Amino acid sequence: MASVTLRPGRVALADLRAIACRGAKAVLDPACRGPVDAAAAMVEGIVARGDTVYGINTGFGSLARSRISDGQLSRLQTNLVLSHATGLGPLLDDAVVRLVMALKMVGLGAGHSGVRWRVIESLQALLQAEIYPCIPAKGSVGASGDLAPLAHLSCVLIGRGRARHKGGEISGEEALKRAGVPPLTLGPKEGLALLNGTQVSTALALAGLFAIEDAFAAATVSGALATDAVKGSDAPFDPRIHRLRGHAGQKAMAETYRRLLAGSAIRQSHLDCDRVQDPYSLRCQPQVMGACLDQIAHAAGVLEIEAGAVTDNPLLFPTDGDALSGGNFHAEPVALAADALAIAVAEVTSLCERRIALLIDATLSGLPPFLVEESGVNSGFMVAHVTAAALASENKSLAHPASVDSLPTSANQEDHVSMAAFAARRLGEMAANAQGVIAIELLAAAQGMEFHRPLKSSAGLESAMGKIRALVPRLDADRMMAPDMQAIAALIAEGGFHDLVPGLLPSC
């Protein structure tokens, strides 16, 4: 299995995709040891001098004015971890937890958190052994960091909590034994450094980004396939149109559609037809998908920066000797990026649903009703479209921005929060809905193409047809369609269409 070396401040999206989607092993750059040790020595100095610094020898949140004696500092950190492990709901899946652990290593490895190197080593040992803390999905408001979920991760490091290994659930104590590391006795600042940070929100958003990119690649292909299936025009993709507007995503999508359709004999067969304009779901694909692509690219840039960031509090600057309290734990950038992704994937889903409706409507498509011979006896794609409509509607509701909400916590000390964790978490469900709708469109468009045989489409779209037909045969008469839809949705989730749109998406 491939290994990825992580360096604070510059973590590539492609490496994060490899960790999440392909299980690549993450290793922190050993060059981080020096800065980490320097910050840990600074914490030791603060304690030795008796200086009062938040989170090192004080209480937390609204209890920040409580001074803690030196003899209670380790207990303070352990109590922090245990008291904050209040998450509920289903457990985050292994891919997300891998990302959380990798991102936490990056944040601590920058040398501004004050933890000892052995804290990072313990985290890395669990990750290398494929032992993943059990982290409930719900309980973070995305400010002061993802406190509850990161507390569940941290519990395993001190021999508490639960973890997953090789498909089974084990105790935190057993997890450390299998990883070959002893339980941590937390030093000053270490519990707080582990709990502060946006790593859970960021990991969820990254996982959502990757799944949305997989869906977007497939939706680009399905849109081109549907265009050829209904004998749509490629004239709206002429570069002169898109240069006049200037948006990067729009120009990139127009070029992609031109390339996907180039050389289609089906297109050549109706060059002189009397149709003046296609419906918007065909004609405006560069404008709609291009705008979505721009939002995806922007969100990807935000998340790439956040992945390499230091987001706990207070932050230590050993060179200057300063310990500064700030608010890098506030996950507003992640929340806004996740909301942008949600709106983009809802629009992609909506556009695909409209093209399915077009494909099955004989008066608009010129194809047999519901894309099946002997319609009436056969219902064809009639109710597959109903499923697509249901999923598209769900995505519209889920697209409502989470970041516009805030509820004060910690006795009003934390009086504005980001709701980034939910903003990011719902992306997984939205991407799965989108993949289902796109799978239906791919099947419907492929079915439509069959009615134009023996004419061939372009090389790229014939390749797409081959991918589809390798899993699902043509619909000659009614059958259960759910297995067909599931097979193509799985192909989308595996990134099965990225090769047809190379270089289009940020992490691919």
- 246-290 pLDDT tens trace: 999 999 999 999 999 999 999 998 987 777 789 999 999 999 999
Catalytic pick from 54, 132, 257, 280? 54
Q: DSSP letters of 203-261?
A: HHHHHHHHHHHHHHHHHHHHHHHHHHHTT--SGGG-HHHHHTT--HHHHHHHHHHHHHH
Active site residue 257: no
Q: Which helix (H) or strand (E) holds 266?
A: helix 265-268
Joined tokens for residue 289: 């998908």
Where helices occur in 451-507 by DSSP H, the ranges are: 459-469, 482-493
Q: What burial letters (b/e) apply to 148-161, b meaning 16+ CB within 10 Å?
A: bbbbbbbbbbbbbb
Position 67 pLDDT exceeds 90: no
Average pLDDT over residues 451-456: 97
The better pLDDT of the pair 3, 342 is held by: 342
pLDDT category of residue 63 using cuts at 50, 70 and 90: low
Over residues 191-236, the pLDDT tens digits come to 999 999 999 999 999 999 999 999 999 999 999 999 999 999 999 9
For residues 163 and 215, what is the distance between their CA atoms, to the nearest angstrom? Answer: 31
> pLDDT > 70: what percent of the chain?
99
| Rounded mean pLDDT, 124-147 | 96
Cα separation, 356 vs 340, in Å, equals: 25
Confidence grade of residue 442 (pLDDT, cut at 50, 70, 90): very high
For position 44, what pLDDT does the model report? 95
User: Under a CB-based contact definition with an 8 Å cutoff, are residues 436 and 465 in contact?
Assistant: no
Burial 98-124 (b: 16+ CB within 10 A, else e): bbbbbbbbbbbbbbbbbbbbbbbebbb
pTM value is 0.96
Mean pLDDT on 309-326 = 95
- Give the residue among 287, 78, 49 at the shortest CA–CA distance from 184: 78
In the predicted structure, residue 62 carries a pLDDT above the cut 80: no
Judge whether 331 and 309 are in contact, CB under 8 Å. no
Q: How confident is the model at residue 396 (pLDDT cuts 50, 70, 90)?
A: very high
The pLDDT of residue 53 is: 87
The rounded mean pLDDT for the chain is 95
Question: Are residues 350 and 311 in contact, defined by beta-carbon separation less than 8 angstroms?
Answer: no
pLDDT at 61 over 70: no
Task: Quote the pLDDT of residue 276.
Answer: 72
pLDDT band at 409 (very low <50, low <70, confident <90, very high): confident
Q: Given a cut of 90, is residue 83 above it in pLDDT?
A: yes
pLDDT band at 146 (very low <50, low <70, confident <90, very high): very high
